[in-house]
């Protein structure tokens, strides 16, 4: 009996050891598989940094956004994701334009902007009605439109990019800064143009210093302004500092007190940003925002200077898809005609 029990115990022990060995191998194989899967997920192609670029597609100027996107896409190897912001009525046209051109290869998301968020926040200004278009205020609401990114580039539509957008994305933002802009006093080669066409490059040109609310800010009227047509933004800081709420506060105050909309600068989207970001922004390399190309139909930059520029901005009334305007040949290099024929360039012989 004792010998029979011993044999049975030995067999049971062997069976337990065999089961344990099988289970160990199974667990080890699963663990190895998970490790391999993790390695596969971290391949360079998968981990490549995505560069989100926000551009608006407004009715009547969709060709501008097309040229901007075309120039960015053609001059970089970076992994760019375009966020194209439009109104419900314009989005279908713009989508077809992209899908029926060489831009069909780009990565893009279409975001619909609801102009109702601006209700009661914009003071009507008959002198520059185009500045009151809803999409001019998209830059105020970046965190609401772009959810998953830490860092975002916002660009006006009247620009073209001649450099690699990766360089602009790599702009360093100081701790505590929600955005980086270009100072309006930072590029000596543009100063002569600024003087010759009477452009504003200080806070005096954008805020009405006759108003007590403006004087109470304690900002010197000779402080250099900045241009919010090119922004590198940190979404975490933007939300933490409640930048959108601050901007809306100054929009409402302007409706009540007319603090800036009738001043020389005219930019109702620029003035609240000048207030909210005063001394709280980092700077963009000046060559990444050569502006004022749309301020005069006569004043031109040197060709050599423009070739060195990384980004050109036709801010002002004289746009490169209209006539008259300057340096249109640089802009047209990147323009892609509208397959539907709705958007046409205005030219002296057209």
Q: How far apart are CA 260 and CA 262, in angstroms?
A: 6
Q: How far apart are CA 30 and CA 20, in angstroms?
A: 15
- What integer pLDDT is reported at residue 205 of this predicted model? 86
Model confidence pLDDT, tens digit, residues 202-243: 898 889 999 999 999 999 999 999 999 999 999 999 999 999
- What integer pLDDT is reported at residue 131 of this predicted model? 64
- What integer pLDDT is reported at residue 34 of this predicted model? 38
- What integer pLDDT is reported at residue 199 of this predicted model? 62
Going from the C-alpha of 1 to that of each of 22, 39, 125, 140, 237, the distances in angstroms are 32, 57, 107, 89, 80
Domains, the chain, with CATH or none? 51-183+226-240+281-333 (3.90.550.10)
CA nearest to 164, candidates 287, 65, 283: 287
- Strand, coil or helix: 282: strand
- What integer pLDDT is reported at residue 261 of this predicted model? 60
- What integer pLDDT is reported at residue 201 of this predicted model? 84
- What integer pLDDT is reported at residue 44 of this predicted model? 43
- What integer pLDDT is reported at residue 334 of this predicted model? 98
Q: How far apart are CA 31 and CA 33, in angstroms?
A: 5
The segments of the chain whose pLDDT lies below 50 read 1-2, 30-47
Q: What is the largest CA-CA distance in the chain?
A: 115
Phi, psi of 84 (to 5 degrees): -100, 115
Half-sphere exposure of 270 (CA within 13 A, CB side): 30
Model confidence pLDDT, tens digit, residues 337-346: 999 999 999 9
Residue 136: DSSP 8-state? G
């Amino acid at each position: 009996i004792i010998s029979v029990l011993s044999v049975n115990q030995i067999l049971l022990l062997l069976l337990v050891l065999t089961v344990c060995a099988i289970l160990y191998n199974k667990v080890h194989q699963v663990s190895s598989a998970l490790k391999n899967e993790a390695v596969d997920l971290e391949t360079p192609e998968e981990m490549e940094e995505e560069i989100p670029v926000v551009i608006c597609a407004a009715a009547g100027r969709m060709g501008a956004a097309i040229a901007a996107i075309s120039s960015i896409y053609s001059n970089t190897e970076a992994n760019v994701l375009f966020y194209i912001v439009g109104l419900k009525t314009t989005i279908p046209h713009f989508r077809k334009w992209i899908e029926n051109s060489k831009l069909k290869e780009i990565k893009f998301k279409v975001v619909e902007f609801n102009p109702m968020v601006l209700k009661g926040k914009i003071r009507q200004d008959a002198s520059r009605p185009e500045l009151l278009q809803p999409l001019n205020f998209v830059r105020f609401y970046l965190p609401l439109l772009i959810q998953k990114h830490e860092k975002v580039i916002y660009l006006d539509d009247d620009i073209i990019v001649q450099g690699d957008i990766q360089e602009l994305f790599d702009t360093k933002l100081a701790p505590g800064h929600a955005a980086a802009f270009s100072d309006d006093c930072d590029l000596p080669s543009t100063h002569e143009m600024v003087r010759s066409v009477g452009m504003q490059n200080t806070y005096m040109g954008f805020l009405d210093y006759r108003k007590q609310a403006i004087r109470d800010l304690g900002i010197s009227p000779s402080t250099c302004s900045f241009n919010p047509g090119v922004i590198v933004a940190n979404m975490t800081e933007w939300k933490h500092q409640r930048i959108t709420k601050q901007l809306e506060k100054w929009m409402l105050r302007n409706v009540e007190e007319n603090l800036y909309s009738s001043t020389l600068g005219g930019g109702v989207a620029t003035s609240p940003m000048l207030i909210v970001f005063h001394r709280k922004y980092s700077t963009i390399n000046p060559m990444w925002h050569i502006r004022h190309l749309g301020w005069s139909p006569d004043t031109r930059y040197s060709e050599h200077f423009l070739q060195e520029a990384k980004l050109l901005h036709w801010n002002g009334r004289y746009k490169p898809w209209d006539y008259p305007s300057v340096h249109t040949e640089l802009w047209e290099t990147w323009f892609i005609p509208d397959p539907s024929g709705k958007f046409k360039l205005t030219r002296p012989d057209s």
